[in-house]
Amino acid sequence: MLYDAKLSQDMANQLLDEGIYVIGFFYPVVPKDKARIRVQLSAAHTKAHIDKAVNAFIKVGKNLKVIS
């Protein structure tokens, strides 16, 4: 949960730059001030795919100061 609409969009854009496609949802799709990132996983994703996504989330999260 990121809460901030702009932050959710910035995170989604930076994750895309890392090769990870996610959606940043914000109002009116979710309640106001409840912006978030949604990912979709499938059984077709490998451990390598998951590791790449986790590493990208860590990198981008630290860059945007949502992960310390």
- Is the CATH code 3.40.50.300 the one for domain 5-63? no
Domain-wise residue ranges, the chain = 5-63
CB 8 within 8 A of CB 36: yes
Distance separating alpha carbons of residues 51 and 62, to the nearest angstrom: 17
What does pTM read for this prediction? 0.93
Q: What is the DSSP letter of 50?
A: H
Give the pLDDT score at 37: 97
pLDDT in tens, 15-67: 999 999 999 999 999 999 999 999 999 999 999 999 999 999 999 999 999 99
pLDDT of 23 reads 97
